[in-house]
Amino acid sequence: MKSSFFRNSAILGVFIFFLIGFSTQNKALANNTIAVVDIEAIVKEMPEAIEADKQLKDISQKYQDSLTKMQKDLEAKAQNYQKQKSMMAADKQQQEEEKLQKEYQTLAMFQQEKFSNTGELVQMREKYLEPIRLKVKNAIEAVAKDEKVGLVLSKDAAIVMFADAKLDITFRVIDKIKREK
């Protein structure tokens, strides 16, 4: 946590130094302006982002339901085994324990394949979000060029401490995206 604080402080220091240096430049550089944009507000206005989010939630719920069912089935089998264990021969007990162990491994593998950092859900999220990111980025760049903005910062970034509302180009970006349809 300390390293994160120091890293953020260092980034903030560099940013402030940049802004001070930027603000004291000569008249030729005075035309460069800074704008801010609220990425979250833009994405909330994009029907394709809303649809992608819905699809990802549906798929995630389907996987979660499957995982829950597998867990309940395995738990029921384990309880059943515990009840019948005392009446089983040693070799039958070992067979049942091996079956339960294999089912547990299958469950763990399913969970890993679907929900891990490299799992299907993360890959699907990237597949759905990449075109949206590209569209937002292109719209921001287009508005920045139209408005002759030299630097666009995200409101969501931790280093933006204050931004005058006049610098906010969020709604112009949303308008640009909507007009491209």
Residue 8 in contact with residue 158, Cβ under 8 Å? yes
What is the model's pLDDT at position 1?
A: 45
The confidence score (pLDDT) of residue 162 equals 61
- pTM for the full model? 0.66
For residue 165, what are its two tokens? Answer: 């509302």
44-65 per-position pLDDT tens digit: 999 999 999 999 999 999 999 9
Q: Is the pLDDT of residue 13 over 70?
A: no
